[in-house]
A and B are shown apart, each in its own frame.
Chain A
Amino acid sequence: MPNSSLNSGPKVGLFVTCLVDLMRPSIGFAAIKLLEHAGCHISVPESQTCCGQPAYNSGDTKNAKDIARLVVDAFEEFDYVVAPSGSCAGMIKEHYPKLFADDLDMTPRVYNLAQKTHELTSFLIDVMNMQDLDAKLDQKITYHDSCAGLRELGVKTQPRQLLAQVEGAELEEYEGAETCCGFGGTFCVKYSDISDHMVQKSVEALADTDAELVLGGDLGCLMNIQGKLSRLKDEGKATNLKATLKVRHIAEVLAGMADNASIGEPDG
């Protein structure tokens, strides 16, 4: 491992992601617990906000670059950068180099950052080779692969390898696991009717499993799926869905921190 003293683990900068920061800090704390368990030293730079993806995907290259520069400044000092999101890690890893393709000064910096940036579950498996997870969960679960994690970063087996280490967790794959749930960042508001139609299909596919808990690695997708599940329940249209079907980020389960209210559910 680079740049670390012999008896200590790597220095990891946690890229919290804006959604986790704002909506669900417990995912960030779960990530820290997991990374520390794996022997990493964690820093959380205060100067981080967002990866710039909303601007980038909307064609606002200038703002995307400005935001990306902040991220590069804040994170290039670490051995690794880890994000509890395939989408944000993908932005840094895959898209920063494209964004600065004709900026000779930035190019080496963004390539350097891209190289050491990882999505949380793939970091735990591929880099830290985590085999001694200490977590329990007596539930049937299913996993939703987020598009960016799956297709930009190849995150597929890593979350499953980690879940296999969770005592009592029983994974049942669902047919919609690799199909986009319709979140898509600003897409879910700009083209809300298409987005709704897509998430409706994801939820219908979930109804075909016995899972009691849907897990995923990206909070945006999980909020979308939970928001639809919850609305269908309100409208009494969720008759074929398990009334108890809950939604969580995988980090919370892996860290043994799944006692709090799940996404979109009331406390207690």
Chain B
Amino acid sequence: MPQSVNPMVEATSIQFKSNVKKALVDEQLQKALGNIKIGFVLNRKIASERLEEFEALRDRARDIKTHTIAHLDAYLEIYQQNVEASGGHVHWAQDDTEAREIILSICQSADAKTVTKGKSMIGEEIAINEHLEENGVEPIETDLGEYIIQLRGEAPSHIIAPACHVSKDQVADAFRETHTDLPEGRSLEEPDELLAEARAMLRDKFINADVGITGANFLIAETGTSVIVTNEGNGDLTQTLPKVHIALASIEKVVPTLEDTTTLLRVLARSATGQEMSSYTTFSTGPRRAADLDGPAEYHVVILDNGRTDLLAGNFSEMLRCIRCGACLNHCPVYNSIGGHAYGWVYPGPMGAVLTPGLMGLDEAADLPQASTLCGKCEEVCPVRIPLPSLLRRWRDQVYARDLGDWQTKWALKWWAVFAKRPALYHFFAGPKMRMLASWAKKQGHLKSIPSLKGWTNSRNFPAPQGKTFQQMWKEQKK
């Protein structure tokens, strides 16, 4: 029995800087982050290069999402009609509280004791597990990564590889601690032994669950279909075996047609893991039909807003194109330095740095859009071409306007601007200042410490200026 560890994970985005400090010295995390580069990054490159039309498909994928978002209310209504036509139910939730209540009440009417769960970022966002547990329903994560972090009482550190920060020894420890019927001498050293243990443990859970909750990668308006994409097959067992299936989705998951979904699927796995296609892509439409031998008797979809309509209204609609592939995380040098937990909530990396301030408030997450070099790698790999650096800048405009940044930087930039806007003044002061720095450096060619640039000189030398400024020398030369 996995013990019910209460994985109540408080959002810690507000203490981003101290999270970062911890992450940078966490040796296990640093080692784990190295795996992402050799795994996901290399595989995406191979997969994208061997499909001739990949770049053109990214354009198509972007256009499909842009079109859908521009007609979002219309497609959601068509979607709902078609779900209901196939015997399913659609529930609308404005925020996390409403979503939790809807899900709990479905579970309660099914008299549910245990609920199996496929991977769902919406589930993380609304903290559904905690709510079910508090109300006497046992939620069991079935995606291996999610299961591991549930046992460890943690939040995911990556949107498609939630336990990518955990080592195999830590997985073994988590199993030993929680699988109480594990024989004493049972070896859990090798990944395949861990796999066998997890498979055996979760089999029973699948069979005995009363309700299965999955996420949804797409909702198809044309047919009222929800789509899940997995590699493990856990989502399929989760939604096929129990008598009730609940799919959790947010408003921007809807797409017009099966064909549109197909285009998006052609870029999803390639961007995410570098697979040509994930192992299991499942299109579900309504509950079990009259003559079917298996499948859920009830089919529910919960559609969540939780701040997304504000993003739509507030100049962040491009973010709603996101299909949660994780490519921006995998390729982000900041994410690769600090991992997912430092971001302090369920969505890390560049997409999280744009989404989190929108969903939980900029006051709670002002560091996230600022902690980026705007290097543009995320936009380069995004399958739906979200201009992530531009969106980060849009948040920065608000950070500045609402005075949520640190005062030292703001003060320094203000003074810089005073000079930058007055060329004569600028050149008058720049010359002597640079000569002073150059003379401090003496013959070394660099400075080991500059009080006003401690952030730099704590870990790096500061190359000294050559002496005169270019403008001075140019003037002298022209004489």
Contact = CB atoms under 8 A, between A and B. Distances in A.
Interface stretch (B103-111, B180-188, B249-257, B440-448): B440-448
B373 A54 contact: no
B469 interface: yes
Contact of B469 (A22, A187, A191, A198): A22
Interface string B376-403: 1101100000000010010111111100
A105 interface: no
B464 A264 contact: yes
Contacts of A191: 17, 20, 370-371
A147 B393 CA distance: 16
Nearest to A53: B374
Q: Which of A16, A22, A47, A185 has the most CB of B within 10 A?
A: A22
B420 A67 contact: yes
A130 B227 CA distance: 54
Contact of B430 (A22, A26, A55, A59): A22
A214 to B, nearest CB: 13
B417 A24 contact: no
B3 interface: no
A63 B411 CA distance: 13
B445 A46 contact: no
Nearest to A67: B420
A208 B187 CA distance: 39
Given A61-B397, A151-B380, A234 B461 contact: yes
Contacts of A196: 458-460
A194 B18 CA distance: 12
Contacts of A260: 466
Interface residues of B, number: 68
Interface in A16-73: 16, 18, 20-26, 28-29, 44, 46-50, 52, 54-61, 63, 66-67, 70
B470 A25 contact: yes
Interface stretch (A5-13, A110-118, A136-144, A219-227): A219-227
Contacts, number: 209
B333 A223 contact: no
A267 B371 CA distance: 36
Contacts of A50: 416, 420
Interface string B436-479: 00000001111010000111101111111110111101110000
A93 to B, nearest CB: 14
Given A227-B456, A230-B461, A267-B443, A147 B375 contact: yes
B434 interface: yes
B155 interface: no
B461 A25 contact: no
Contacts of B376: 147-148, 150-152
A89 to B, nearest CB: 14
Nearest to B438: A23
Interface stretch (A120-128, A157-165, A176-184): A176-184
Contacts of A224: 460
B471 A21 contact: yes
B92 interface: no
Q: Which of A16, A58, A70, A192 has the most CB of B within 10 A?
A: A58
A106 interface: no
A186 B470 contact: no
Interface residues on A, range: 35 or more
Given A60-B413, A192-B458, A265-B445, A223 B401 contact: no
Given A189-B455, A230-B446, A70 B423 contact: yes
B36 to A, nearest CB: 13
A199 interface: yes
A263 interface: yes
Nearest to A263: B463
A173 interface: no
Contact of A194 (B334, B421, B446, B475): B334
A242 interface: no
A223 B377 CA distance: 21
Contact of B375 (A151, A226, A267): A151
Contact of B456 (A16, A148, A192): A192
B337 A198 contact: yes
Contacts of B421: 49, 63, 66-67, 70
A228 interface: yes
A224 to B, nearest CB: 7
Given A46-B471, A190-B409, A197-B337, A231 B459 contact: yes
A40 B333 CA distance: 39
Nearest to A260: B466
A227 B413 CA distance: 23
A192 B446 CA distance: 18
A128 to B, nearest CB: 22
B402 to A, nearest CB: 9
A261 interface: yes
A77 interface: no
Nearest to A247: B463
Nearest to A25: B470
B427 interface: yes
Given A25-B466, A187-B373, A192-B458, A56 B446 contact: no
A49 B397 contact: no
A55 B466 contact: no
B474 A44 contact: yes
B8 interface: no
Contacts of B393: 56-57, 59
B440 to A, nearest CB: 13
Nearest to A27: B470
A230 B405 CA distance: 31
Interface of B: 17, 20-21, 24, 333-334, 337-338, 370-377, 379-380, 390, 393, 395-401, 405-406, 409-410, 413-414, 416-417, 419-421, 423, 426-427, 430, 434, 443-446, 448, 453-456, 458-466, 468-471, 473-475
Given A224-B460, A226-B461, A264-B461, 17 more contacts: A25-B466, A25-B470, A49-B419, A61-B400, A63-B420, A67-B421, A151-B380, A179-B377, A183-B373, A186-B413, A187-B370, A192-B454, A194-B371, A198-B337, A201-B333, A227-B446, A261-B445
6 contacts: A47-B423, A63-B420, A66-B421, A184-B373, A190-B455, A191-B371
